Amino acid sequence: MMKGLEEVSDNLCRPDECDTFQFMAKDMGLKVLHPGGLQSTLDLARMCGLRRGMTVLDVGCGSGTSATRLVKEFDCRVLGVDVDRELLHMAEASINKIHENRVTFRYADAHELPFENDMFDGAICQAVLVFTDKRRVLQELTRVVKPGGFIGAVELAWKQEPPSSIINMVQKVLCSASINAAEHEEWSTLFHSAGIVRVSSELRDLAFEIRDLFMNEGILKGLKAMYKIFFEPVPRERMKGMRELFKESQKYLGYGLYTGRVT
């Protein structure tokens, strides 16, 4: 980890305790919270080589939007796990009859997955590793994924070491877990240290676009979110802060897509 971040990386929030995460999921009613939205999910799946008939573990599945989208797009099976029981209830309620035999959800901690070795064809996580002991969770993923299977992640990534003003801004606007993001090149090193090979990565910029909101949430939920952003003081100020953060931190903070194969 970069020296400037070491002193502020110890007291990390969990996803179910993170104020920003809770606000976006439960006050704003948004279901897609990871960087890049559903487009990054689909791009990650293609990078991983996800194919029809595969069984995939979605760690930190939240309300299940990514899991159901993968089932629809790739005709695969997905088991989603999360530590937020309220979001899991939402995920279970969202399953329709078309997908009910191909997607399931259950409570599980990524640090101690309740699954046998070599159980899945692949595993993905999106905006999850920053909340965890990254090495330990990556090792757990390699344990439950079959040899030759894939592991993919969409995670915040530092482009270069940030000044203290940017660190403070990220902590204030997002959450302390954001500081636990690795530098872009370090993510590949973490994958290799967990026994993951053939690692590939792609670094992208953070951005908030209205069109992405509608793609991720649909027209009705997108309109409801837009109403809150324009007409309710708290959502308006918080979204203003996020847009300012993305602008000010563009040189330093982005997100990456990371994939590799289990040996």
Domain ranges of the chain: 3-262
pLDDT at 216: 86
Q: What is the C-alpha to C-alpha distance for residues 36 and 204, in angstroms, rounded to an integer? A: 9
Q: What is the C-alpha to C-alpha distance for residues 183 and 171, in angstroms, rounded to an integer? A: 16
The three-class DSSP label of residue 216 is: helix
The three-class DSSP label of residue 204 is: strand
Strands (E), the chain: 55-59, 77-82, 103-107, 120-126, 145-158, 182-183, 196-205, 253-262
Q: What is the C-alpha to C-alpha distance for residues 136 and 163, in angstroms, rounded to an integer? A: 28
Q: Among 47-56, 108-117, 123-132, 212-221, whose mean pLDDT is lowest?
A: 212-221
| pLDDT tens, position by position, 159-205 | 999 999 999 999 888 877 888 899 999 999 999 999 999 999 999 99
**Can you read off the two tokens belonging to residue 64?**
């299940």
Q: What would the DSSP string read from start to end of 51-102?
A: -TT-EEEEET-TTSHHHHHHHHHH--EEEEEES-HHHHHHHHHH--TTTTTT
Q: At what angle do helices 65-74 and 37-48 cross, to 10 degrees?
A: 50
For residue 178, what are the contacts with CB-CB under 8 A and spacing of at least 6?
A: 130, 156, 170, 171, 253
Closest residue by Cα to residue 191 from 258, 127, 254, 253: 258
Decide which of 3.40.50.2300, 3.40.50.150, 3.90.1150.10, 3.40.50.10800 is the CATH code for 3-262: 3.40.50.150
The pLDDT confidence band at residue 262, using thresholds 50, 70 and 90, is very high
pLDDT at 156: 95
| pLDDT tens, position by position, 60-69 | 999 899 999 9
| pLDDT tens, position by position, 129-162 | 999 999 999 999 999 999 999 999 999 999 999 9
